[in-house]
Amino acid sequence: MAHDPLAHVRDLFDLDDDVVYLDGNSLGAPPKAVAGRVRDVVERQWGRRLIRSWSEGWWEAPERVGNRIGRLVGAAPGQVVVADSTSVNLFKALMAAVRNTDRSEIVVDAGTFPTDGYIARSVAELTGLALRPAPPEELDLRDTTAVVLLNHVDYRTGRLLDMAALTRQAHEVGAKVVWDLCHSAGVLPIELDALEVDLAVGCTYKFLNGGPGSPAFLYVPRNAQHAFEQPLTGWTGHEVPFAMSAEYTPDPGVSRARVGTPDILSMLALDAALDVWDDVSLADVRAKGLALTGHFMRLVEGLPGIGVLTPSDEWRGHQVSLRHPDARRLVEELAERQVLGDHRPPDVLRFGFAPLYNTFDEAERAAAILKELL
Annotated binding site for pyridoxal 5'-phosphate, which residues? 86-87, 113-116, 180, 183, 205, 235, 261
Query: Considering only CA atoms, which of 116, 157, 112 is closest in space to residue 139?
Result: 112
| 23: annotated active-site residue | no
> Amino acid identity of 298?
R
Catalytic residue among 84, 109, 154, 180: 180
Catalytic residue among 132, 206, 256, 316: 206
- Give dist(CA 357, CA 292) in Å, integer: 11
Q: Is the dihedral of CA 189, 191, 192, 196 positive or negative?
A: negative
Asked if 309 and 322 touch (Cβ cutoff 8 Å), the reply is yes
Annotated binding site: 86-87, 113-116, 180, 183, 205, 235, 261
Catalytic residue among 21, 205, 207, 219: 205
Query: Considering only CA atoms, which of 115, 142, 156 is closest in space to residue 320?
Result: 156
Catalytic residue among 13, 21, 113, 217: 113
| Alpha carbon of residue 206 to chain centroid | 7
Task: For the sheet with 348-352, list strands across it.
Answer: 307-308, 319-323, 348-352, 342-344
The set of residues, in sequence order, having a beta carbon less than 8 Å from that of 206 and lying 6+ positions away, is 24, 25, 26, 27, 28, 182, 183, 185, 186, 352
- Give dist(CA 63, CA 4) in Å, integer: 33
| 350: annotated active-site residue | yes
Asked if 114 and 156 touch (Cβ cutoff 8 Å), the reply is no
Residue 253 sits at the vertex; the CA angle it makes with 249 and 254, to the nearest 5 degrees, is 110
Largest CA distance in the chain: 67
| 328: annotated active-site residue | no
| 113: annotated active-site residue | yes
Catalytic residue among 350, 351, 353, 357: 350
| 180: annotated active-site residue | yes
Query: Considering only CA atoms, which of 126, 114, 111, 62 is closest in space to residue 87?
Result: 114
By CB neighbour count within 10 A (0-12 exposed, 13-18 middle, 19+ buried), where does 199 fall? buried
Query: How do beta strands 20-21 and 319-323 pair?
Result: unpaired
Partners of residue 164 on adjacent β-strands: none
Catalytic residue list: 113, 180, 205-206, 350
